[in-house]
Amino acid sequence: MASKSRLHIAVFLAPAVLVYTAVMIWPLFNTLRLALYTSGDGARVFSGLTNFATLFGDPRWSASFWNALGNNFWFFIVHMLVQNPIGVALAAILSHPRLRFAALYRSAIFIPTILSFVIVGFAWKLILSPIWGIAPGMLDAVGLKSLFAPWLGREEYALTTLALISVWQFVGIPMMLIYAALLSIPEEVLEAGEIDGITGAAAFWKIKLPLILPSIGIISILTFVGNFNAFDLIYAAQGALAGPDYSTDILGTFLYRTFFGFQLQLGDPHMGSAIATAMFAIILAGVCIYLFAIQTRMRRYQF
């Protein structure tokens, strides 16, 4: 009976495994393989780690790579410090049983998440335009026009502005995940806290927050992976050159220009694969470190 049961499971899992291998595993290994070759005399030549040595050792390549990596980290930090706390706060507010029209608020906050990156990028580019945008007029209406600046056109502001636009678009995801986690807390636990006099904000900090920490950890991992795979919003708003002067360039746009080429720059799939491999290694290392930190923290919390 045991062997039949295992065969039954294998038969049902086989289609999903085959599809996942075809669209995920095989392209990943093919990318790793391409990174070990170079193009010469119209043929593909095995070069080992030469592409990685060029990426990290050649000043022309390494400067672009480290600039894109630093921008990626800043993009991620803005999401961690702004998006996720706001998502937790919104979830806590919307989960209050006495809040009216909570479903309407949830829908309104989540709607930007389902919008196209292209629509969001071009819409905000028009809104923030100093020539025909509505942002200067809106700030002028409340007496804050002096604070307006061409944020997408200044190197020191452009990346942070795009990160905040991304926060506006995706804050609904952590909100809904935390909202679901809050609803899953047993009523008996909250009632026991009320008996002990723990109500209101104190109930959230002392009871609810410790119980939803695993969900917050998962959201943090998803934020890390999602931000290091970011590309669409930057490309839609600033183009493949990620201006001004590459100040919004991230690993995704750097990979795109290198792999496919752009304007006068010819595409190099082998160097592009080296960049993609480096991205994969960074994401994998970051996720492993984060999981280890969460596991260590939970063990300390339990014991």
pLDDT tens-place values along the chain, 303 residues long: 455 567 878 888 889 999 989 988 898 899 899 999 888 767 788 888 899 999 999 998 999 999 999 999 999 999 999 999 999 999 989 988 888 888 899 999 999 999 988 899 999 998 998 888 888 888 888 888 888 888 898 899 999 999 999 999 999 999 999 999 998 888 888 888 888 788 778 888 888 888 888 888 889 888 998 888 888 899 999 988 888 889 999 999 999 999 998 877 778 899 999 999 999 999 999 888 887 877 776 666 554
For the chain, give the longest Cα–Cα distance.
79
pLDDT for 179 equals 92
Can you give the C-alpha Rg of the chain in angstroms?
Answer: 24
Q: In the chain, where does DSSP find H-type helix?
A: 2-20, 26-34, 50-57, 59-78, 84-94, 102-110, 117-127, 135-141, 155-170, 172-183, 187-195, 201-203, 209-211, 213-228, 232-238, 251-260, 269-302
What pLDDT was estimated at residue 303?
44
What is the DSSP secondary structure assignment for residue 267, as one 8-state letter? P
pTM of the model: 0.86
What pLDDT is stored for residue 10 in this prediction? 83
Q: How far apart are CA 117 and CA 162, in angstroms?
A: 12
Question: How far is it, in rounded angstroms, from Cα 244 to Cα 156?
Answer: 9
Burial class (CB in 10 A: 0-12, 13-18, 19+), 259: buried
Backbone angles phi, psi at 268, to 5 degrees: -130, 95
pLDDT for residue 302: 54
CB 161 within 8 A of CB 152: yes
Contact 271, 55 (CB under 8 A): yes
pLDDT score of 300: 63
Non-local (6+) Cβ contacts of 165 within 8 A are 120, 121, 124, 233, 237
Placement of tokens 């937790």 in the chain: 88
CA-CA distance, 62 to 41, in Å (whole number)? 26
